[in-house]
Amino acid sequence: MPQSLAQVYIHTIFSTKDRHPFLSEPGLRSDVHAFMSGTAKSLQCFPIQIGGVADHVHLLTTLSRTIPISEFVKEVKRVSTNWIQDRGGAYAKFHWQSGYGAFSVSKSALVEVGDYIKNQEEHHRKVGFQDEFRRFLQKHEIDYDEKYVWD
C-alpha cells in the first residue's frame, strides 16, 4: 500500500509540578485548554476534548501518524509552559510534572471519555488526582512503582 493511514485516539493526563493548583482561576484554565488545543492541532493531533482542574489536565486527541506520543506530550507541555510563564508573577514559576499517562481509547468510548473530561470539576469533588491516576493505571493494567509516579 503506497499510503500510510491511521486513526489512533489517546487520553493523556499530566499534572502541574507537585500538583500545585496553578490553574485555579477558571478563566486561565479555559485559556490554557484552548491554547493546548491549538498546539495539538499544529502537531496534527486533533483535539476532541481538553479539560481538567487546578492541578492537572486531560487531553483526548487523535495521534498523528507522524509523531510519537512522547514528542506530542513534550511539545504540548513545552509550549504551554512558556505561554503560562509569560503571564509573569506567580506564573513565572509554573511547570508541569515531568511524567504523564497516555491511554488508548477506542472509537466506541470517545463520547464516554469526552464526558468524563468535561465533568472534571464534579468528579474531583469526590476523588483527588493521585487516586484518579492510580485508577487509570490499574484499569489499563500498567505496572508502576509509586515512588516514580509523583513529582
> φ, ψ for residue 25 (rounded to 5)?
-80, 115
The CA distance from 150 to 142, in Å, is 15
Q: Choose which CATH entry (2.60.40.650, 3.40.50.150, 3.40.50.300, 3.30.70.1290) describes domain 8-107+124-132.
A: 3.30.70.1290
DSSP 110-125: HHHHHHHHHTHHHHTT
* pLDDT tens by residue, 16-74: 999 999 999 989 999 999 999 999 999 999 999 999 999 999 999 999 999 999 999 99
* pLDDT tens by residue, 86-134: 999 999 999 999 999 999 999 999 999 999 999 999 999 999 999 999 9
> φ, ψ for residue 17 (rounded to 5)?
-55, 130
The CA distance from 78 to 80, in Å, is 6
Domain ranges of the chain: 8-107+124-132
Q: Which amino acid is at 23?
A: L
